[in-house]
Amino acid sequence: MADELTFETIYAQAGDDLAGIPWASLAPMPALVQWLDGQPPVTGARALVVACGLGDDAEEVSRRGCRVTAFDLVPAAIAHCRARFPGSAVDYRVADVFRLPDDWRRAFDLVVEIRTLQSLPVSERATAAASIAGMVAPGGRVFVHGLGRRDDDPPGRRPWPLSPHDLRAFTSAGLTDTELAVQPRSPGPDERHVVTAVYTRPAL
Ligand SMILES: C[S@@+](CC[C@H](N)C(=O)[O-])C[C@H]1O[C@@H](n2cnc3c(N)ncnc32)[C@H](O)[C@@H]1O
């Protein structure tokens, strides 16, 4: 894992050429759009977008009427968000998923986690998932989306897909398993698949 470029380096090497950022689609994640279409959030709901990258998912959730906070570890990512979406209603912040502000704890009706856990080494994943789960308010939900693998598949190179074992960190953190969809990533022998999971914190 030591030969993986850091996220700071990836953003620095890309500079203003966003096409040089491997995950940059410059559009919201279709699975999130589909999910939000099916379950429109309540206007004014508080939402947190984890490791927001270039900001497209945060803007999509904001467009749907949520009050959105979005964070990323890398200042250059947050600078891109602010430059791409001037006048945005999203509160973009630099923050580390392992050290989130105390006043975010259990403060969000919707937490969106897309392709972050798979970017973190498997050994750090349960801690990150517990931190993310801790941001969900009573009655709130976390939407999780990323590549998936079976528990006994080797993780390979980054992105290291999520296994059922990885995802159990959300239920271990006190959330209820609400939705799970597993889809093939592409036709053919590729073992990888795409996972969408939703977990809910029981209401008080
Ligand atoms: C693969 S990108 C995904 C970005 C975005 N969620 C998306 O799907 O387009 C992973 C993101 O996680 C961020 N990241 C990595 N480690 C992080 C950490 N410890 N805390 C917050 N963000 C982190 C990276 O800077 C990067 O923007």
Per-residue pLDDT of the chain (204 residues; tens, 9 = 90+): 457 899 999 999 999 999 999 999 999 999 999 999 999 999 999 999 999 999 999 999 999 999 999 999 999 999 999 999 999 999 999 999 999 999 999 999 999 999 999 999 999 999 999 999 999 999 999 999 999 998 998 888 899 999 999 999 999 999 999 999 998 776 555 566 899 999 999 998
| Domain definitions of the chain by residue range | 27-200
How many Cβ atoms are within 10 Å of 131's Cβ, its own excluded? 19
Cβ of 113 below 6 Å from ligand 1: no
Question: Are 63 and 78 spatial neighbours (Cβ–Cβ below 8 Å)?
Answer: no
Q: Please tell me the distance from the alpha carbon of residue 53 to that of residue 64, in angstroms, as a whole number.
A: 19
Neighbour-count burial for 114-129, b at 16+ CB within 10 Å, e otherwise: bbbbbbbebeebbebb
Residues paired with residue 47 on neighbouring β-strands, in sequence order: 68, 110
Nearest CA to ligand 1 atom 23: 73
- Which of 116, 117, 162 has the most ligand 1 atoms within 8 A of CB, as the residue to mutate? 116
Structure tokens at 145: 């989306």
Task: Give 127's contacts (C-beta < 8 A, 6+ positions apart).
Answer: 98
- Domain 27-200: give its CATH code: 3.40.50.150
Can you tell me which atom of ligand 1 is nearest the CA of 128? 19
- Residue type, position 113, single letter: E
